[in-house]
Amino acid sequence: MIYLTHTRPDLSYAVSVVSQFMHNPSSRHMSAVNRILAYLKSSPGKGIMLSRHGHLDIVGYTDSDFAGSKLDRKSTSGYVSFVGGNLVTWRSKKQTVVARSSAKAEFRAVAHGICELLWLKMLLEELKIVYRKPLKIYCDNKAAINISHNPVQQDRTKHVEVDRHFIKEKIEEGIICMTYVPTADQVADLLTKGLGRPMFEKLVDKLGMFNVFSPA
């Protein structure tokens, strides 16, 4: 299943959760695995559709589920990256330490997302494709966005100082453009928490996934 997540971002969160119990699984964990297998059986032809959109814009979405783990209260970070309107990279991973606020959890997710966009920009440059526009990154946490643009709020950000300064530096240099996106349109939400079927299917469609076996 871990190998499947390289081509199926819709499985990333569920597989990352069950993988945490791989060395000591219980019947509940095996039941979750069976549900993942049932989902796979119902959509064997689903995958990422790559198509031409007439641009090479580099866009990222980042999100975090604050204290989402009931076992240790660690948050889960997730990000997706698009190049030219096509999904190219994604990640769902539990954070290594417990975040004391939603802003701290969000800053960590945004920092990882920015690093991924910078890597994609460097990769394009190695392919002799120069991208001069700001890299757009979308976040649904207004507090994190406001703190990134306002260096005065020191008392609220001492525990996230490194990530805050890293994000602020990239914004001031014009490399990154950090923008608010409503939670309903935050596609990275798919990688941070379990969702109901309507929202799950909506975000999967927004990722650009297509079922080759669906009727024309």
Q: Is the pLDDT of residue 198 over 90?
A: yes
Structural domain contains residue 84: yes
Residue 109, domain member (yes or no): yes
Number of domains into which the chain is organized: 1
Nearest residue to 17 (alpha-carbon basis) of 64, 66, 67, 69: 69
Q: How many helices (H) and strands (E) are present in the chain, helices listed first?
A: 6, 7
Tell me if 170 is assigned to some domain.
Answer: yes
Whole-angstrom distance, CA of residue 203 vs CA of residue 199: 6
H/E stretch holding 122:
helix 102-126
DSSP annotation of 9 reads G
Q: How far is CA 108 from CA 50, 104, 152, 199, in A?
A: 29, 6, 20, 25
pLDDT averaged over the chain?
Answer: 87
Query: What is the model's pLDDT at position 204?
Result: 93
Q: Give residue 76's domain range.
A: 48-211
Phi/psi of residue 74, each to 5°?
A: -85, 150
Residue 39 lies in a domain: no
Whether the pLDDT of residue 59 is over 80: the answer is: yes
Domain assignment present for 172:
yes
In this prediction, residue 144 carries a pLDDT of 81
- Asked whether residue 72 is domain-assigned, the answer is yes
Could you tell me which residue, 212 or 85, shows the higher pLDDT? 85
Residue 37 resides in a domain: no
Task: Give pTM, 2 decimals.
Answer: 0.89
The CA distance from 179 to 185, in Å, is: 13
CATH number at residue 196: 3.30.420.10
In a domain, 19, yes or no: no
Handedness of CA 142, 63, 139, 176 (dihedral sign): positive
pLDDT at 161: 65
| Per-residue pLDDT reduced to its tens digit, 132-176 | 899 999 999 888 888 777 755 554 555 566 777 788 888 888 999
The structure tokens 């009931």 sit at 70
CA 151 to chain centre: 25
